[in-house]
């Protein structure tokens, strides 16, 4: 019995971008207290390995353009589990409230009277910033940072505030952007950013197989559309990319030779 009744509860937990050391203590405690874990595709194996033995796991992982478990069914699943008295850890990649639909799930649960609590996660932008040493803001280079989606609902055309985004002193971090990156680069240049404006591309950020590439808007715009990528991809666009240090740059250039990154950006 939980909460003095037969009703369970749901922990909405951010698992971070992959490195298990980026998990918060609160998130770890909630994972250990749950009796069922409902997790996404982006939650790394290293994090899933922290789930205690004997705890039920339900994989509702979504692949781009392919949704094995639609969102409304995930909402219903969480509600049903909690109504049956289960203590549910809803484990999501990065932070559940940054392009994570955590607030949609929370709204459905709250409407049903189910207690919800949150553990924030390190969002991909922060994880990648730390793993590469590239800051998101920096005096003289970036006075603000914006997290932007590169993908629209049901593959509708991207309709972003291009005028507002195309500022040299703003760092743009594009999530879910690989399929539309040519278009995004083109729009940003059309709205005033120079073609040599730097871009850092990071695949599998913070994971043992992290890959990086330094490029610029002009180069991105000329690449073929990308169909397949070997993992989640984040684009950091802005002058801060110039701060990737010598060592990081040398490493990045070596990683640039990696076949999977050639596939991402060189078609």
**Chain residues in the site for ligand SAM (CB under 6 A):** 17-18, 42, 92-95, 98-100, 123-124, 128, 175-176, 202, 204-207, 232-234
Between 171 and 206, CB nearer to ligand SAM: 206
Q: What kind and span of H or E run contains 200?
A: strand 198-203
Minimum distance from residue 146 beta carbon to ligand SAM (Å): 14
Q: Is 79 tagged catalytic? A: no
Minimum distance from residue 46 beta carbon to ligand SAM (Å): 12
Between 165 and 234, CB nearer to ligand SAM: 234
Minimum distance from residue 234 beta carbon to ligand SAM (Å): 4
* Catalytic residue, candidates 19, 30, 40, 181: 40
Closest alpha carbon to 215 in 186, 246, 241:
241
* Catalytic residue, candidates 19, 79, 92, 176: 176
Lookup: tokens for 43:
């939650």
User: In the chain, which ranges are continuous DSSP H helix?
Assistant: 25-33, 45-48, 71-83, 102-111, 124-132, 162-165, 181-190, 217-222, 246-256, 259-266
Torsion sign across C-alpha atoms 108, 114, 117, 122: negative
Q: Is 245 tagged catalytic? A: no
Between 123 and 215, CB nearer to ligand SAM: 123
Closest alpha carbon to 202 in 168, 239, 230, 170:
230
Q: Is 223 tagged catalytic? A: no
Minimum distance from residue 125 beta carbon to ligand SAM (Å): 7
Residue 181 Ramachandran class (φ > 0 left, ψ -120 to 50 alpha, else beta): alpha
> Which are the contacts of 78, defined by CB distance < 8 A and separation ≥ 6?
10, 38, 88, 90, 105, 108, 109, 114
Between 170 and 204, CB nearer to ligand SAM: 204
| Residues assigned a catalytic role | 40, 62, 176
């Amino acid at each position: 019995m939980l909460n003095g009744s037969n009703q369970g509860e749901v922990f909405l937990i951010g698992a971070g971008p992959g490195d298990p050391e980026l998990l918060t203590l609160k998130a770890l405690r909630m994972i250990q207290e749950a009796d069922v874990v409902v997790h996404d595709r982006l939650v790394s194996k290293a994090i899933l390995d922290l789930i205690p033995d004997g705890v039920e796991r339900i994989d509702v992982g979504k692949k781009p353009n392919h949704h094995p478990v639609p969102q409304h069914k995930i909402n219903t699943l969480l509600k049903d589990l909690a109504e049956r008295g289960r203590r549910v850890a809803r484990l999501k990649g990065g932070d559940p409230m940054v392009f994570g639909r955590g607030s949609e799930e929370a709204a459905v649960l709250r409407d049903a009277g189910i207690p919800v609590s949150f553990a924030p996660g390190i969002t991909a932008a922060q994880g990648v910033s730390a793993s590469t040493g590239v800051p998101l803001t920096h005096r003289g280079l970036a006075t603000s940072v914006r997290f932007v989606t590169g993908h629209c609902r049901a593959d509708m055309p991207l309709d972003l505030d291009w005028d507002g985004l195309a500022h040299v002193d703003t760092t743009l971090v594009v999530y879910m952007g690989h399929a539309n990156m040519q278009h995004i680069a083109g729009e940003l240049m059309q709205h005033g950013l120079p073609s040599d404006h730097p871009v850092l591309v990071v695949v599998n950020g913070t994971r043992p197989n992290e890959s990086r590439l330094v490029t610029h808007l002009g180069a991105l715009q000329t690449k073929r559309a990308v169909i397949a990528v070997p993992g989640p991809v984040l684009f950091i666009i802005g002058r801060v990319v110039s701060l990737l240090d010598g060592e990081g740059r040398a490493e990045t250039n070596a990683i640039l030779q990696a076949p999977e990154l050639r596939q991402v950006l060189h078609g």
